[in-house]
């Protein structure tokens, strides 16, 4: 949907060297995350923020607003890692916002946030009905700044796929590789947290972001994958046909080999091949 628009925009200089004032919307987003993160350290204010976080109660008690409010409640982690997450969120969010504009930026976040939360809540509901999950769960892979990071990094990787990013500030890689790296990191986090619903929500957020920003959308992506699968099947059939049609020389009834070469071998009779 957004990928069909054209912009006069160069590949950004990712990091501290980028020029221009930061977008006001990004600063407000970071401010809300910082304030809500700080309020969770106090018992009185923590009770006010808990209903805004994504929980299984969203589908059990009809707290549907949680599907849209949970990204704006900073998730508890070590203060150093939280500040680092905000810094990375600023880097990616700034360039994505400048490329898409205000309306498309927030529409992208809305689609990604809703898709991830609804899928995660639905998976957790099925797990609860199967007796494999309980209601005291907070989806640690999705909460707060983490779902926003997932969407904005995937958006940057889709829009600026040829840009170079220094992973861990050392290893240079192409931005498009972050689409796969996000899934890999989420899977590693799933192994530690056992948050299956959150992991599937992360995958859904990456998928909806990529399909939204790709020209032609999801239909084009599915068509390309279908063509690739058909091409692989055709190649496999051709390889089987080549093996079946392999040629070998056999003797005829007179004990001679049949060959159509022009050599003068006395034991070879010229003529068509016998398969």
- Residue 138 contacts residue 144 (beta carbons within 8 Å): no
Can you tell me the distance from the alpha carbon of 105 to that of 216, in angstroms, rounded to the nearest whole number? 18
Annotate 201-214 with three-state secondary structure. HHHHHHHHHHHHHC
pLDDT of residue 205: 93
- pLDDT given for residue 2 in this prediction: 47
Of all helices (H) and strands (E), which one includes residue 266? Answer: none
Give the per-residue pLDDT at 79: 86
Say what the pLDDT of residue 4 is: 40
Q: Give the CA diameter of the chain.
A: 104
Least Cα distance to 142 among 79, 184, 188, 205 occurs for: 205
Could you give the CA distance from residue 166 to residue 174 in angstroms, rounded to a whole number?
A: 9
Residue 129: alpha-carbon gap to chain centroid: 28
The residue extents of the domains of the chain are 24-213, 250-275
Contact 247, 237 (CB under 8 A): no
Walking along the chain (275 residues) 10 residues at a time, the average pLDDT comes out as 41 52 91 92 85 81 84 86 91 92 92 92 86 76 91 93 76 85 92 90 92 72 71 80 60 51 49 47
Tokens of 196: 């299956």
Q: Is the pTM of this model over 0.75?
A: no
Q: Are strands 171-174 and 164-167 parallel, antiparallel or unpaired?
A: antiparallel
Cα end-to-end distance, the chain, whole Å: 57
Architecture of domain 24-213: Up-down Bundle (1.20)
What is the reported pLDDT for 22?
85
Question: What confidence score (pLDDT) does residue 250 get?
Answer: 52
């Amino acid at each position: 949907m957004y990928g069909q628009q054209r912009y006069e925009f160069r590949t950004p200089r990712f990091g501290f060297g980028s020029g221009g004032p930061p977008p006001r919307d990004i600063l407000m987003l970071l401010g809300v995350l910082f304030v809500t993160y700080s309020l969770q350290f106090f018992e009185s204010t923590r009770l006010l923020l808990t209903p805004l976080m994504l929980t299984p109660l969203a589908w059990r008690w009809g707290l549907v607003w949680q599907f849209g409010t949970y990204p704006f409640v900073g998730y508890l982690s070590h203060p150093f890692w939280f500040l680092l997450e905000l810094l990375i969120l600023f880097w990616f969010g700034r360039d994505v916002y400048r490329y898409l504009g205000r309306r498309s930026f927030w529409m992208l976040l809305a689609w990604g946030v809703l898709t991830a939360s609804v899928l995660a809540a639905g998976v957790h509901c099925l797990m609860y009905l199967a007796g494999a999950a309980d209601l005291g769960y907070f989806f640690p892979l999705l909460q707060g700044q983490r779902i926003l990071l997932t969407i904005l990094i995937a958006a940057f990787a889709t829009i600026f796929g040829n840009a170079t990013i220094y992973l861990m500030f050392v290893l240079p890689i192409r931005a498009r590789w972050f689409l796969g790296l996000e899934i890999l990191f989420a899977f590693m986090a799933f192994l530690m947290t056992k948050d299956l619903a959150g992991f599937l929500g992360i995958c859904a957020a990456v998928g909806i972001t990529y399909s939204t920003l790709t020209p032609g959308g999801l239909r084009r992506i599915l068509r390309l994958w279908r063509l690739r699968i058909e091409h692989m099947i055709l190649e496999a059939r051709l390889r089987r046909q080549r093996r079946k049609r392999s040629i070998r020389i056999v003797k005829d009834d007179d004990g001679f080999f049949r060959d159509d070469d022009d050599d003068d071998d006395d034991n070879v009779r010229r003529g068509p091949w016998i398969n």
